[in-house]
Amino acid sequence: MADAEAAKSLSALLHGIAQSVFYKRSDVTEELLRAELFPELPPLDFRVLHDKMRGVVKSVATADMDRAQLEAFLTAQTRKQGGGGLSAEQAAALSRFWKSQRVRVRESLLAQSRWEPGLRGLSWRVDLQAAASRGHAAHSGPVALVELELGRAGQDSEFVCLEFDEAKVNEMLKKMADIQESMDRLVQHT
Amino acid sequence: MASSHAKDSSFLGGRIPPEIESMSKNLKDVDHDMFRRILKAVVSALDGKDCREVMRTIAESSTIPQKRLGHIIAGMYRLLSEAIRIPTSSLKQEAFKEDLRELRIPEDFITDFSSVVFGNRRAALEAARSLNDPHLPTIEELKWRVDVAISTSSLARAMQPSVLMQMKLSDGSFNRFEVPVSKFQELRYNVALILKEMNDLEKRSILKIQD
């Protein structure tokens, strides 16, 4: 049916807008979306549609609306007189879109305010030193070799390799406990 | 004597290092006083200290030509390095002295060498030497901070906690990075696991590697 087709195109448009605005896909352009999804629509009419949808999506995303807030917002939009409002189909498409994409969009927006490299992962192994060219091996105990993977959004990872003796690992664990305690206290207050 | 034929090769191995051969040839021209001065400087070098000044003073106050002096110092340094490398359970004092006698080193000097290798400075020298082993940087200092992003330019209501860490490494470099809450849990879990592995390792007898 024409309705189902229209709904699909609308959904796809919203996803396309998300790709471009939030997920940094510069290859998803307005022209591409028009050609793929609304080829019969005159460019100017498409622009109006595209801009309206993008504006709504951005408002919803910046406010990180929960279900109740979204309902209220969309209802208000559909009640708007004149050309600026949303149709019932558009509101429905937006509702579906936000339900599935909210977490991902929020994550990408948070990432935009992270300027330090983030910890992406780590790997490690524990070695036993058996011999050394200069020193006397019997004094060593187990040694942990750790590789930290750090990186900024969209950039390649940097790897930092470190070694720890047992005392150092203990020290690190104690710091982790302190950090955890600090975070737990935060949760109590908020 | 019969005992020396039954003995294994010298603690220096099958082939005596050239600088030690050369040293033993040149030592006969060195008086005990001068020897002790050089020994002191060499031990200081093994300890990781800068002894260029001391060496310069020795060179200037000595009648021994610089080249020969260089051979002597190199030989003494190498001899002591090799001896300290071997655990005392493997190289006993008597065997060490025998090996030095085979090199025709004067008895007084052998006693002095021996007191360095088997004396109470030994542990400190071993520790200093092991600093030269190849190793990765360690964390000298770890500072951290727990932040909550209340609001950002992209998100009006963020309310997102994260941990900011700054590591100072033993090679002087700094690393600053952010750890999201989920990754922090992973980090903490892994650190605890590493400690457990290390503890387990100590309990197992594999740690008692005998030679």
Least confident of B38-47, B171-180, B202-211: B202-211
Residue A130: the pLDDT is: 65
For A39-49, how does the pLDDT look when each residue is reduced to its tens digit (9 = 90+)?
999 999 999 99
Average pLDDT, chain A: 88
User: Residue A183 and residue B163: Cβ atoms within 8 Å?
Assistant: yes
- pLDDT of A1 strictly over 70: no
Q: Are residues A124 and A105 in the same domain?
A: no
Q: Are residues A106 and A181 in the same domain?
A: no
User: Residue B138 and residue A164: Cβ atoms within 8 Å?
Assistant: yes
Question: Domain tally for chain A?
Answer: 2
Q: Are residues A84 and A127 in the same domain?
A: no
Q: Are residues A130 and A149 in the same domain?
A: yes
Residues of chain A with C-beta less than 8 angstroms from the C-beta of B127: 139
User: In terms of pLDDT, which residue wins out, B4 or B146?
Assistant: B146
Interface test with A, best of B146, B173, B193, B203 (most A CBs within 10 A): B146
Q: How far is A18 from chain B (nearest CA, A)?
A: 14
Residue ending a domain, among A58, A79, A113, is A113
Residue ending a domain, among A98, A113, A128, is A113
Relative orientation angle of helices A166-189 and B181-203, to the nearest 10 degrees: 150
Contact between A96 and A11 under an 8 Å Cβ cutoff? The reply is yes
> What confidence category does residue B4 fall into, taking pLDDT thresholds of 50, 70 and 90?
very low
For A131-166, how does the pLDDT look when each residue is reduced to its tens digit (9 = 90+)?
555 555 545 678 999 999 999 988 899 999 999 999
Residue B164: the pLDDT is: 96
Out of A112, A116, A136, whose CB is closest to B154?
Answer: A112
User: Residue B195 and residue A166: Cβ atoms within 8 Å?
Assistant: yes
Whether B195 contacts chain A with CB within 8 A:
yes
User: Residue A172 and residue B191: Cβ atoms within 8 Å?
Assistant: yes
Beta bridge partners of A31: none
> What confidence category does residue B203 fall into, taking pLDDT thresholds of 50, 70 and 90?
confident
Contact between B46 and B76 under an 8 Å Cβ cutoff? The reply is no
Complex confidence, ipTM: 0.73
- pLDDT of B15 strictly over 50: yes
Residue A128: the pLDDT is: 81
> Count of A–B CB contacts within 8 Å?
172
Q: Are residues A38 and A96 in the same domain?
A: yes
Query: What residues make up the domain containing A69?
Result: 2-113
* Sheet with A158-164, side-by-side order of all strands: A158-164, A142-151, A118-128, B174-180, B160-169, B139-149
User: Residue B132 and residue A135: Cβ atoms within 8 Å?
Assistant: yes
Contact between B197 and A126 under an 8 Å Cβ cutoff? The reply is yes
Closest CA to B119 of B190, B18, B208, B43: B43
Q: Are residues A123 and A90 in the same domain?
A: no
Q: Are residues A7 and A58 in the same domain?
A: yes
- pLDDT of B171 strictly over 60: yes
Residue B202: the pLDDT is: 76
Residue A140: the pLDDT is: 63
Out of A128, A133, A145, whose CB is closest to B207?
Answer: A128
Question: For residues B10 and B24, what is the distance between their CA atoms, to the nearest angstrom?
Answer: 15
Question: For residues B197 and A144, what is the distance between their CA atoms, to the nearest angstrom?
Answer: 9
User: Residue B177 and residue A118: Cβ atoms within 8 Å?
Assistant: yes
| Identity at B106, one-letter amino acid code | P
Q: Are residues A129 and A51 in the same domain?
A: no
For B79-117, how does the pLDDT look when each residue is reduced to its tens digit (9 = 90+)?
999 999 888 888 899 999 999 999 999 999 999 999 999
- pLDDT of A53 strictly over 60: yes
Out of B149, B157, B180, whose CB is closest to A118?
Answer: B180
User: Residue B157 and residue A63: Cβ atoms within 8 Å?
Assistant: yes
Q: Are residues A86 and A169 in the same domain?
A: no
Q: Are residues A60 and A94 in the same domain?
A: yes
Residue ending a domain, among A113, A144, A168, is A113
Q: Are residues A170 and A87 in the same domain?
A: no
- pLDDT of A38 strictly over 80: yes
- pLDDT of B7 strictly over 70: no
Q: Are residues A17 and A90 in the same domain?
A: yes
